[in-house]
Copies of this chain bind each other. A is one copy, B any other.
């Protein structure tokens, strides 16, 4: 039984606690730490049988019974806590992005080097039933050589302006999932990126120096072309579609809904909107990624999303920012 400590008891920390409690066979959450621990959270944690509840995460790292930690704190603390955890001999599951800085991610890489510790980055969408089905079709050769990767990724609502300020911008905060997905779907890294973007949803976002609408094109290292379209606000909800087109055909997925019910009446034939947002849409994927993290520890295998994927996605995001700033295509090697 793997003893797990969760650092950060916000929304995603709680999701992982539930996944491990209900759907992960060989793990149990022994401890949770959060600097803003309150009574409500404490009661929630206790209802899941969490034994040790702290405000200071260092107590988790100091507990020799803890095998693995989940880093669900704010992004700016990910890298430092990752390194501390590694040095304390813990396996690490780190939420995305690992950091906004390539140097800090490289420092995590260095800390990991030579240690037999597992490190997994929280790109949960790789474990989603739809996206996994695309990758499986690509791997099975059903569409031949990939030529075009298309991802539509639109949020139902923009975050509040205060969050945008610290988020690192749309590419490091939102599109980073899509960058990882583009790489995952055709099993390749990115060579070059160009961003066409605008502030169309809310001028307040522009005032933070960020954009809210973007079309991003990339050349993948395997020769395929990729395109992502993003909006911070889709009136109909969370739009999460993908498509890979290749020499022998195409594989595509559509949005998930609460039910397949369609109502035909004098207004037309109406189906449900997509599931509201990432918690509703990707709940199954959070459990699957956690299962695979624990499996990698138990079986001593490679975790499915390692530090290199964490690094690659941040590199792409930083190149995207540079493309916007300099209004030109940017090669990823420029950032190395």
A residues neighboring B (CB under 8 Å): 22-23, 129-130, 132-134, 137, 142-145, 147-148, 150, 152, 154, 194, 196-198, 200-201, 213-215, 217-219, 223-227, 229, 231, 233-236, 239, 245, 247-256, 258-273, 327-329
Contacts and interface: CB of A to CB of B under 8 A. Distances in A.
A259 B214 CA distance: 27
A124 to B, nearest CB: 16
Given A23-B22, A196-B219, A223-B200, A261 B231 contact: no
A331 to B, nearest CB: 11
Contacts of A259: 129-130, 132-133, 253
A236 B250 contact: yes
A229 B133 CA distance: 23
Contact of A269 (B134, B194, B258, B273): B273
B262 A213 contact: no
Given A154-B245, A200-B247, 5 more contacts: A129-B258, A143-B263, A194-B217, A227-B227, A269-B271
Nearest to A219: B196
Number of this chain's copies in the complex? 4
Nearest to A137: B263
Contacts of A143: 263, 265
B215 A225 contact: yes
Contact of A236 (B23, B152, B227, B265): B265
19 contacts: A130-B260, A134-B261, A142-B263, A143-B265, A150-B229, A194-B196, A196-B227, A198-B223, A200-B224, A229-B245, A234-B245, A235-B249, A236-B264, A236-B265, A250-B265, A253-B259, A253-B260, A268-B271, A327-B329
The 10 A-B pairs with the shortest beta carbon distances in the complex, nearest first, are A249-B265, A133-B261, A133-B259, A236-B264, A196-B217, A22-B22, A270-B270, A268-B270, A250-B264, A129-B259
Nearest to A264: B236
Among A154, A234, A267, find the residue whose CB has the most chain B CB atoms closer than 10 A.
A234
A45 to B, nearest CB: 15
Contacts of A218: 196
Contacts of A225: 196-198, 213-215, 229
Among A247, A254, A270, find the residue whose CB has the most chain B CB atoms closer than 10 A.
A270
A25 to B, nearest CB: 9
A215 B227 CA distance: 7
B260 A251 contact: no
A225 to B, nearest CB: 5
A235 B273 contact: no
